[in-house]
Amino acid sequence: MDLLYRSTRSRGGAVSASQAILKGLADDGGLYVPESIPVLDQSLEALSQMTYQETAYEVMKLFFTDFTQEELKDCINKAYDSKFDTEVIAPLVEADGTYYLELFHGATIAFKDMALSILPHLLITSAKKNHVKNEIVILTATSGDTGKAALAGFAEVKGTRIIVFYPKNGVSPIQEKQMITQKGENTFVVGITGNFDDAQTGVKQLFGDKELAEIMDGAGFQFSSANSINIGRLVPQVVYYVYAYAQLFKEGKVEKGEKINVVVPTGNFGNILAAYFAKNMGVPIAKLICASNENKVLYDFFETGVYDRNREFVLTSSPSMDILISSNLERLIYLTAGADAEKNAAFMGALSEAGKYEITDDMRAQMKDFYGNYASEQETADMIRTLYEKTGYVIDPHTAVAAAVYGKYKKETGDNTKVVLASTASPFKFTRSVMNAIDEKYDAMGDFALVDELSKLANVKVPNAIEEIRTAPVLHDTVCDKSEMRSVVMQFLGI
């Protein structure tokens, strides 16, 4: 039986996996959700003997049912290859009693590589399956990591172009350099004078612009998304939670069926939603610990049942989490509202108009496995320094937010269940924040001198992703106001 996908905002017809991947966002502005979350059909013993690529196939085949075995394996093998600097793809490292799931061994040294390495191949395969003649234009807003990972994934992929919008002063210097030095005739990077939410809202408006869609279709183009709103991004993220648990079992760190907790630094809610999917597939996960930085809209939501984005936007040392509208939360709202699209659409309408909504007590009860908390900038820096001094292990600020929140959870609950913490970026991506946290004396050093110092300190080779941007020329210098995004897109496409 094929697994079909429905929009979170209407009772319209269901679509296949390949159609959902192609469209990215449903016509009504909703997100695609599978009609049911499939259950793993392989035993834990079998999964524990599999490579990352084999695990990926076992998970993805259950979601992407209109792909043939050959098509799916081809996509997986092209994605998880020598672009990753470790054969295991997602290693687990134990430090101070926590299992850090290192998701940053791909081409751009952030967890977004885990899904964005495969998305271009899923998209091109989906286009062929659906006899698409138009060139696919990937339109993406980024808070720092998605942009570069998407650019790296789609650069020079035939039949595609990619346009990335990022907040001009809202990403780290390394993140910006990674994007604006991106090669590829089909790539375009634009800084906007605004924050990530402005960029994300602007992109959603372009997706919903019917007049623009007609103009583009006439010129042989159509939009698709590489943001985590695309189901082709979310499903590959489920894989590493299945893989992590199987590896713990293989190494004798957990007994069969023993539950673990999962801690995720959270901005757009995609990465923790993937853990929720893994739990529903049968992975023995107890608590899903949602870690926020000072933009603590999700912490407040789990505390009160009220989602309220009417607050000051804070720029932090963990910029990928500087988000007030967590797009993927909509999928959880839809599922806990009993897959009631009208109910969900009303919540999203309230968010759009008033900037807030409140869920029912019944929905809150269904979210009891989620725990939310946040870490201040000081707590984040303290966590980086403390863990380094204790163990020699160096983590980035996003991972440190999660580690600090996990400390609060343990203190509050006394729960000593084994824990997997999603380590979402290499410390080399945020060298200044990391080195300042360890010792303020480093602040006088230049960005790349800091990189070399961190390499010595952590006894880790400088990643290739950093080496290649040391002297790379700036290839993208467009900056626009959020109101100009439409005209900038048309200009780039020559229409």
pLDDT attached to residue 369: 97
How crowded is the C-beta side of 341, counted as CA atoms within 13 Å?
A: 18
Show the tokens assigned to 439: 């010792």
- 347 in helix, strand or coil? helix
* Contact in structure between 165 and 142 (CB atoms under 8 Å): yes
Q: Residue 347 and residue 349: Cα distance in Å, rounded? A: 5
Please enumerate in sequence order all residues whose Cβ is within 8 A of that of 412, keeping only pairs 6 or more positions apart, or say none. none
Start-to-end Cα distance in the chain: 42
Q: Residue 7 and residue 301: Cα distance in Å, rounded? A: 23
Task: Name the pairing type of β-strands 5-7 and 32-34.
Answer: antiparallel
Q: Residue 369 and residue 216: Cα distance in Å, rounded? A: 44
Show the tokens assigned to 268: 């757009």
pLDDT attached to residue 405: 98
> Which member of 23, 61, 83, 112 is catalytic?
112
Q: Which residues pair with 256 in a beta bridge?
A: none
Note the Cα 138 to chain centre separation in Å. Answer: 16
- 353 in helix, strand or coil? helix
Q: Residue 401 and residue 468: Cα distance in Å, rounded? A: 28
pLDDT tens by residue, the chain, 495 residues: 899 999 999 877 899 999 999 988 898 989 999 999 999 999 999 999 999 999 999 999 999 999 999 999 999 999 999 999 999 999 999 999 999 999 999 999 999 999 999 999 999 999 999 999 999 999 999 987 788 999 999 999 888 999 999 999 898 888 899 999 999 999 999 999 999 889 989 998 999 899 999 999 999 999 988 877 899 999 999 999 999 999 999 999 999 999 999 999 999 999 999 999 999 999 999 999 999 999 999 999 999 999 999 999 999 999 889 899 999 999 999 999 999 999 999 999 999 999 999 999 999 999 999 999 999 999 999 999 999 999 999 999 999 999 999 999 999 999 999 999 999 999 999 999 999 999 999 999 998 999 999 999 999 999 999 999 999 999 999 999 999 999 999 999 999
Q: Does 210 participate in catalysis according to the annotation?
A: no
pLDDT attached to residue 229: 86
pLDDT attached to residue 306: 98
C-alpha distances (whole Å) from 342 to each of 174, 184, 308, 347 are 43, 42, 20, 9
pLDDT attached to residue 173: 87
pLDDT attached to residue 12: 79
Q: Residue 345 and residue 10: Cα distance in Å, rounded? A: 8
Positive or negative CA dihedral for 145, 201, 10, 129? negative
* Contact in structure between 351 and 357 (CB atoms under 8 Å): yes
pTM of the model: 0.92
Please enumerate in sequence order all residues whose Cβ is within 8 A of that of 484, keeping only pairs 6 or more positions apart, or say none. none
Q: For residue 453, which phi and psi values (nearest 5 degrees)?
A: -65, -40
pLDDT attached to residue 225: 83
